[in-house]
Amino acid sequence: MPPDAADRPDAQSSTFIGSAPRGTADLLDTLRAVVGRRHLLTGEKATRIFRHGFRFGSGPVLAVVQPGSLVEQWRVLRACVEAGVIVIAQAANTGLTGGSTPDGIYDRPVVIVSTRRLAGIHLIHDGRQAVCLPGATLNQLEAKLRPLGREPHSVIGSSCIGASVIGGICNNSGGALVRRGPAYTELALYARVDETGRLALVNHLGISLGNEPEAMLARLESGAFAPADVDPAEGRAASDTHYAEHVRAVDASTPARFNADAARLFEASGSAGKIMLFAVRLDSFAKDGATRVFYIGTNDPAELTALRRAILSGFRTLPVAGEYMHRDCFDMAARYGKDTYLAIRRLGTDRLPWLFAAKARIDALPFVSAHFSDRLLQWLADRLPDHLPERLLRYRDRFEHHLMLRMPDAGIEEARAWLERHFPSASGDFFECSEAEGEAAFLHRFAAAGAAVRYRAVHPKEVEDIVALDIALPRNCEAWTEQLPEAIERPILHKLYYGHFLCHVFHQDYIVAKGTDCVALEHAMLPLLDARGAEYPAEHNVGHLYEAKPALRDHYAALDPCNMFNPGIGKTSREARR
Ligand SMILES: Cc1cc2nc3c(=O)[nH]c(=O)nc-3n(C[C@H](O)[C@H](O)[C@H](O)COP(=O)(O)OP(=O)(O)OC[C@H]3O[C@@H](n4cnc5c(N)ncnc54)[C@H](O)[C@@H]3O)c2cc1C
């Protein structure tokens, strides 16, 4: 959806886009004056962790700049616009498709604006909504809401490694929560460059902040606004309010959620870095009381299909989460996700972002070989005793397909009764987890997300690369397991299937043998997905891996007519348009 600038007053700025890149030395001087020498990075090593994606994508940059306030962020952007360079906004850089890093070579110099220093959260309406600044993480939001008995909209696999709230909005990120759908809001404060090249600050946050950009940003950051300045913003969504109904429609021939869904594209939502965001306003949700995890194993996928359809169309209470893992993925996560599992168990999620940052710093040291930290951690993990509960391991031996179902208080009895009526069967069974087993099951499922990356890091001679697909199957799809033709299957060493089963969103990581053309392999797989009515990507967004479908392309073009923000995303044009 194009930005609707007509209904509310926007602050304007007279900065116009430079017609050609100005002397880059001048730009670097200006940026240095804005953020200070320490926060302007230009060296190969210093910029490395910002230039490389978590799983995919990299490219050279002129600089990485780390503003320390919203006003600095605005000044940085203004200088970049004046200089005519490309701007790539980056939050925690946990994106999996290369959408937050450069990818190869561009027609103009690239500046990454890293927002990690800009953590800040203001709760409004007694914590029923939150205003999050660009560096605020889901983890910080969770901690801030916890004393109020509330929780954020999203829980994603990367929440515990520091994924930001705003990165989630930009990617329409999904995650494990069945009732809430993709990250979405219509309330945001952002800057865009219009078709004439003029920079403007657009206040669609529903909070009166004034008209002069720097004063507005300073006011927002310090929280200097009164309840009377906050518009109730009725009629403008701060979450995907219809998702719970939508996901229940198990006879619908379209997927429940996917990145190119036009209904979930609105200004900041799904913007993938095509504007510069300063804040978003989001709903929070009452925390569930007691929950209970049921662990289901089967050798017949039709049993999980029947369970999914029964839950979504018949249960009075929707589950909190319903996560799937194939046995091969279980095994991969048990070995190559073991240290992640143990680190979270021992240290808690709050310290994990710090650990990941330390790991990246070690790998950036000049005397350290590639993937040193991964190899060391794997060596240690392999020497530690088994970490998974006995009952999970027994189910691993008995069953190929695994589903962990977390029910909220009101739905526990309903789920128990259904499962007791249908299991044990000839091919499946279930058990009710203790609290420790339930936590272990979900943590193990989380560890699966990084297992393929670890495998690639420690087996460089054997592995060419990972082909990672993130797909959404139609809600009425019953044949959700995949049969690959022999020619495609041949070069694949390992297949990891896992995902958000009730939403029918699957992550399929293929570890591919050395010497294979992975791009060609992926291209051969896509028509098979098309034939099944799948949409892709489902929740990781296009980045530089997938082609953006028309709704996404239109969204990007409307937000960024000059193509100065994150150009080339979704395999769109990389060239300046003016
Ligand atoms: C282990 C692991 C598990 C994961 N699990 C899930 C999952 O369960 N579900 C899911 O959906 N995703 C998952 N992801 C993917 C990723 O974590 C999400 O896409 C996440 O929302 C990205 O947040 P981020 O802060 O890292 O954003 P980044 O990766 O830094 O940025 C994401 C996008 O937002 C843009 N952006 C960032 N800040 C701004 C700004 N201030 N202004 C404008 N644009 C901006 C960037 O340009 C980029 O296009 C996982 C990733 C990992 C590594």
How far is ligand 1, taken at its centre, from the CA of residue 368, in Å? 28
Residue 170 Cβ inside 6 Å of ligand 1? The answer reads yes
Residue 259 Cβ inside 6 Å of ligand 1? The answer reads no
* Residues linked to residue 485 through DSSP beta bridges, in sequence order: none
CA distance 27 to 84: 10
Which atom from ligand 1 is nearest to the alpha carbon of 99?
Answer: 49
The residue whose CA has the least distance to atom 6 of ligand 1 is: 157
Residue 166 Cβ inside 6 Å of ligand 1? The answer reads yes
Residue 162 Cβ inside 6 Å of ligand 1? The answer reads no
* Residues linked to residue 298 through DSSP beta bridges, in sequence order: 401, 428
How far is ligand 1, taken at its centre, from the CA of residue 226, in Å? 31
How far is ligand 1, taken at its centre, from the CA of residue 107, in Å? 25
* pTM > 0.75: yes or no: yes
How many other β-carbons are positioned within 10 Å of the β-carbon of residue 96? 26
The residue whose CA has the least distance to atom 48 of ligand 1 is: 100
The residue whose CA has the least distance to atom 35 of ligand 1 is: 273
Query: 203: part of which helix (H) or strand (E)?
Result: strand 198-204
The residue whose CA has the least distance to atom 14 of ligand 1 is: 158
Cβ within 8 Å of residue 380, ≥6 positions away: 339
The backbone region for 233, taken as left when phi is positive above 0, alpha when psi lies in -120 to 50, beta otherwise, is left
How far is ligand 1, taken at its centre, from the CA of residue 336, in Å? 22
Residue 272 Cβ inside 6 Å of ligand 1? The answer reads yes
Out of 76, 171, 552, 559, mutate this one to test ligand 1's pocket (max ligand atoms within 8 Å of CB): namely: 171
How do beta strands 63-65 and 110-114 pair? parallel
How far is ligand 1, taken at its centre, from the CA of residue 162, in Å? 10
What pLDDT is attached to residue 493?
A: 98
Tell the residue number behind the tokens 């701060």, with chain if given.
Answer: 238
66-77: buried (b, 16+ CB within 10 Å) or exposed (e) per residue? bbebbbbbbbbb
- Residue 189 · residue 219 · CB < 8 Å: no
Is 531 exposed, middle or buried (CB count within 10 Å of its CB: 0-12, 13-18, 19+)? Answer: exposed
- What is the four-CA torsion angle of 386, 387, 391, 393, rounded to 10 degrees? -50
What pLDDT is attached to residue 22?
A: 57
CA distance 362 to 381: 18
Residue 561 Cβ inside 6 Å of ligand 1? The answer reads no
Nearest to 563, CA basis, from 277, 273, 279, 280: 273
* Residues linked to residue 201 through DSSP beta bridges, in sequence order: 11, 191
Reading across the β-sheet that carries 11-16, which strands appear in turn? 11-16, 198-204, 188-193, 276-283, 129-132, 121-124
- Residue 139 · residue 344 · CB < 8 Å: no
Residue 168 Cβ inside 6 Å of ligand 1? The answer reads yes
The residue whose CA has the least distance to atom 27 of ligand 1 is: 167
Nearest to 171, CA basis, from 21, 273, 83: 273
Residue 164 Cβ inside 6 Å of ligand 1? The answer reads yes
What pLDDT is attached to residue 173?
A: 95
Q: What is the rounded end-to-end Cα distance, in angstroms, of the chain?
A: 22
CA distance 253 to 62: 46
Task: Walk along the chain (578 residues) and give the pLDDT tens digit of each residue.
Answer: 444 443 454 677 767 777 555 578 999 999 999 999 999 999 988 998 899 998 788 999 999 999 999 999 999 999 999 999 999 999 999 998 999 999 999 999 999 999 999 999 999 999 999 999 999 999 999 999 999 999 999 887 777 778 999 999 999 998 889 999 999 999 999 999 999 999 999 999 999 999 999 999 999 999 999 999 999 988 999 999 999 999 999 999 999 999 999 999 999 999 999 999 999 999 999 999 899 999 999 999 999 999 999 999 999 999 999 999 999 999 999 999 999 999 988 887 777 777 777 887 787 777 777 788 999 999 999 999 999 999 999 999 999 999 999 999 999 999 999 999 999 999 999 999 999 999 999 999 999 988 999 999 999 999 999 999 999 999 999 999 999 999 999 999 999 999 999 999 999 999 999 999 999 999 999 999 999 999 999 999 999 999 999 999 999 999 999 999 999 999 999 999 86
How far is ligand 1, taken at its centre, from the CA of residue 456, in Å? 21
How far is ligand 1, taken at its centre, from the CA of residue 93, in Å? 6
